[in-house]
Structure 1
Amino acid sequence: MSQPGVIIVGAGQGGLQAAISLRQEGYTGPVTLIGAEPGLPYQRPPLSKAYLAAGDAEALVLRPESFFAAKDITYLHSTTVEAIDRDARRVVLPGGRLDYDRLILATGTRNLRPPIAGLDRALDLRTLADAGRLREVLASTRRVAVIGGGFIGLEFAAAARKLGHQVAVIEAAERLMARVVSPLMSRYFAMLHHDWGTEVHLGQPAVAVDETGVTLADGAHVPADTVLLAAGVCPNTELAEAAELAVENGIRLDAQLRTSDPAIFALGDCASFPDPRSGRQVRLESVQAATDHARLIAAQIAKGATASYAAVPWFWSDQGDRKLQIAGLAGADAHEEILADGIVARVDAIGVAALETVNKAGAHMRARRLLAGHAPVSLDELKAAVLKTAA
């Protein structure tokens, strides 16, 4: 029997980064990366933006096939893990079992399916196959309705408008991107999409989809030939739950990103962990968080490192010619402070929680460096740092 090594379940950017980082940290044992989708690991963020326009799937590939042989990483694509046997330290596959010394769960998320009649008529935008179907549909002029006013829905809306389609965005909440940005930034992007010619419907959830479009809760009808569902995601925790690991808005982790079983780690969108600033348990849907998680876990496995996760969260969304960037993580108790055109601070009882910028890359980077310090950051300190690069 071969030596048990590290098995990584999930071949997105976080799972792949864990395999890469294990080798970079000097780990010499077996590494097996298991992905449910066919083909090589690829980038997801461009699916709602550049890929819709260019359709270049090769540009999305993160590493060529030769990489896995060169780094002695076994990559199993089109493979689903059916169960985890924690006592035996094995994962169960359709064709057999694999033993592990350490297991990393990078199972990601799936699209939420709200209780909307006729929702099976709507398209998704989660995988490369989903994006390919959307490109085919958008090859001819369409009226498009997007259910969901978060990052993915708005990125797709901007891309579809640029391609010449009529677009309507339907958001059940009272404002766009309500979970992640300030009210001021929500208003800014609502006006922006309106100026681009997109209809924006706020505060009225979709209740039905049919061949003519989408019906809202107030009875209004939004005509559409194509409907995209982008109403959020939920973490894929079923495998962890079946193995009786602790789950709380994702697979629950400690500060070292370990699950309730010390031999099992988790990372990325499927995992909740203690926010180093506030202490509250959070789950981040972010490529940055997934790759940072992967590097920390690899250092623990390869070198016995004991550091807690302390990276500053950051996010971005490209909508048309606007790049929204967020440094830090603000809770519901944070209030907004306008620092300059396109620069908004979110402040809570501790100090500055986050900075939101539009097309201000310098200010964003300065804020990330400042927030990476251990001491709370005051609004005056933030102003002094970021306004130097606001122009």
Structure 2
Amino acid sequence: MTDEKQPSGPDLTRGVNLADFNDGKLLGHVGDEDVLLVQLGTEVVAIEPACTHYHGPLAEGLVVDDTIRCPWHHACFSLRTGEAVAAPALNALAVWEVEREKDRIVVRRKREAPPQAAPHRSAPTPDRFVIIGGGAAGFAAAEMLRREGFAGSITMLSNDSALPVDRPNLSKDYLAGNAPEDWLPLRPEDYYAGAGIDLRLDTSVAALDPKQRHVTLGNGDKVPFDRLLLATGAEPVKLKIPGSDQPHVHTLRSVADSRAIIAAAGSARRALVIGASFIGLEVAASLRARKLEVHVVAPEERPMERILGAEMGDFVRALHEENGVHFHLKDTVEKLDGRRAHLKGGGVIESDLVVVGIGVKPRLELAERAGLAIDRGVSVDAYLETSAPGIFAAGDIARWPDPHSQASVRVEHWVVAERQGQTAARNMLGRRERYDAVPFFWSQHYDVPINYVGHAEGWDDIKIDGSITGRDCLLRYRKGGRVRAVASIYRDLESLKAELDMERSRA
């Protein structure tokens, strides 16, 4: 017996036939490395078969033109170059050389990585770029600028003390104790110096001057810019009740927040989660993994009903109850008296740890003071440019014209923020690329992943295919005769196809 992973499929150095392929794909190996063959018309290409994000199985993914999409979190890669063309993956796949020997397809060696892209010269490129924000959108923009060959200065101003991190992990595997902290950074510390990105942590920005083209830091220093990305993100909504300022009461947004909750959980017996949001319930699941008794208080009748509908809400509640979570729904916490939470309905819950997850709000103050157009977010056009020329916005603060929902929307999703950062970067270089990606997010509850594509603020009906309670389903949220969003559990390929259908049905 051995724990070592065995190579997959046939030995590709001996060759295979097209007849061996299944739905245009074949998973094999070269030595001890797995390789995925994909048929593109009369051509066959070979790539690394594990997504560089969370190692999703690309053999189960969707081929679209000359790209392949990951079934887990919808990252997209070029099949010809391996490049990660759409977040959440950032690293490229390895690509292998394919040879033809009569009717046999043979793979023996990897292709050398392509050289760094040359700067695009479609328009004069300014030299000084400033990014305000160290989250998903800000990091993705800085990384894409260098990937696109931009050779000017990039200054990234973050009010966080931590390097840009994989924030979804803060409420999922890291908080649950299943992932070490060194998995969190999107890039190691030495990446920034090597890439020539001036990352300034613990740096506040006091003012943005669109006319004079500079930002003023909290210490009074001025940083000039030619083009700027505003990616200030969101912050947790604060609980405004007596006792909410006690040290055992936490919110979750940053690495420091997650560390503090983990530290408190080490000596706690019972936790109270206020709010049945995605973050709140992911925290509840993570704290159950740490063997704490967990109570959830929320005003709604069902968790997540506003986003996922009644039947999915009932399933999510039942799933958490199966794992030991106690719900107190249609109720609120009126005050925290020491360790005692007094509920409006008259109940009292004693807890050693309180986590508040009642939503987030976009950080708009800087944009408002700068005179940028605001509409429940920073208003941007299809190219993510604000009302001030040369100033772009992306991520949780950006409200953009969504071609699928035919409305202006603002979405607080990690993948949306990353993809907007990437598009904004290319447009800062003069590309004029419309942001038209279909929104996507995922949530994890114990062993059940929920994927969601599209954006439905309301619906006329929900068509359910499969069984929600059987954890094998796809839900279509329809309004005005069109599918506005799709949620799924273990229907990964169908989720990818639904995303593609939405892309192709845009107005």
- What is the TM-score with the length of structure 1 in the denominator? 0.91
* Residue 101 (str. 1) matches residue 226 (str. 2): yes
Structure 1 residue 141, shift from structure 2 partner: 4.4
Q: What CA deviation, in whole Å up to 9, does each residue of 1:74-105 have, x standing for no partner?
A: 11111111101122100001151011011101
Counterpart of 2:18? none
Counterpart of 2:183? 59
Partner of 2:226, secondary structure, is strand
CA distance in 1, matches of 2:183, 2:506: 40
Letter of the 2:503 counterpart: A
* Residue 328 (str. 1) matches residue 459 (str. 2): no
Partner of 2:193, secondary structure, is helix
CA distance in 2, matches of 1:371, 1:246: 29
Which of the residues 337, 352, 364 maps onto 2:495? 364
Retained in 2: the 8 A contact 1:355–1:367?
yes
Residues 1-391 of structure 1: pairs in structure 2 closer than 5 A: 5-52=128-175, 53-54=177-178, 56-93=180-217, 94-121=219-246, 122-302=249-429, 304-341=430-467, 342-375=473-506
Partner of 1:158, secondary structure, is helix
Retained in 2: the 8 A contact 1:213–1:226?
no
Partner of 1:120, secondary structure, is coil
Task: Give 1 or 2: higher helix fraction.
Answer: 1
Which segment is superposed worse, 238-247 or 209-218? 209-218
Structure 1 residue 234, shift from structure 2 partner: 0.3
Retained in 2: the 8 A contact 1:334–1:353?
no
Task: Mark the CA change 1:351 to 1:128 in structure 2 (over 3 Å): closer, same or farther.
Answer: same
Letter of the 2:337 counterpart: D
Letter of the 1:297 counterpart: A
Structure 1 residue 56, shift from structure 2 partner: 2.0
CA distance in 2, matches of 1:118, 1:8: 37
Counterpart of 1:386? none
Letter of the 1:343 counterpart: L
Partner of 1:36, secondary structure, is coil
Letter of the 2:367 counterpart: A
Retained in 1: the 8 A contact 2:273–2:294?
yes
Q: How many residues align?
A: 373
Partner of 2:183, secondary structure, is helix
Letter of the 1:32 counterpart: T
Structure 1 residue 34, shift from structure 2 partner: 0.9
Task: Give 1 or 2: higher strand fraction.
Answer: 2
Structure 1 residue 151, shift from structure 2 partner: 0.8
- Runs of at least 5 residues in structure 2 that lack an aligned partner in the other structure: 1-125, 468-472
Structure 1 residue 364, shift from structure 2 partner: 1.8
Task: Mark the CA change 1:179 to 1:250 in structure 2 (over 3 Å): closer, same or farther.
Answer: farther
Structure 1 residue 54, shift from structure 2 partner: 4.1
CA distance in 1, matches of 2:320, 2:279: 14
Q: What CA deviation, in whole Å up to 9, does each residue of 1:32-65 have, x standing for no partner?
A: 1111112321111111121121462211011122
CA distance in 2, matches of 1:190, 1:288: 26
Structure 1 residue 375, shift from structure 2 partner: 4.8
Retained in 2: the 8 A contact 1:4–1:99?
no
Partner of 1:273, secondary structure, is strand
Task: Mark the CA change 1:107 to 1:375 in structure 2 (over 3 Å): closer, same or farther.
Answer: closer
Which segment is superposed worse, 306-315 or 101-110? 306-315
Retained in 1: the 8 A contact 2:162–2:255?
no
Which segment is superposed worse, 173-182 or 30-39? 173-182
Structure 1 residue 328, shift from structure 2 partner: 1.1
Partner of 1:119, secondary structure, is coil
CA distance in 1, matches of 2:482, 2:455: 12
Partner of 2:259, secondary structure, is helix
Retained in 2: the 8 A contact 1:55–1:135?
no
Which segment is superposed worse, 308-317 or 353-362? 353-362
Structure 1 residue 107, shift from structure 2 partner: 0.4
CA distance in 2, matches of 1:84, 1:177: 37
Task: Mark the CA change 1:159 to 1:293 in structure 2 (over 3 Å): closer, same or farther.
Answer: same
Structure 1 residue 263, shift from structure 2 partner: 1.6
Letter of the 2:188 counterpart: P
Which segment is superposed worse, 138-147 or 178-187? 178-187
CA distance in 1, matches of 2:306, 2:389: 32
Retained in 2: the 8 A contact 1:251–1:270?
yes
Task: Mark the CA change 1:215 to 1:47 in structure 2 (over 3 Å): closer, same or farther.
Answer: same
- What is the TM-score with the length of structure 2 in the denominator? 0.71
CA distance in 1, matches of 2:363, 2:489: 32
Tell me which structure has the larger Cα radius of gyration: 2
CA distance in 1, matches of 2:178, 2:447: 16
CA distance in 2, matches of 1:333, 1:55: 37
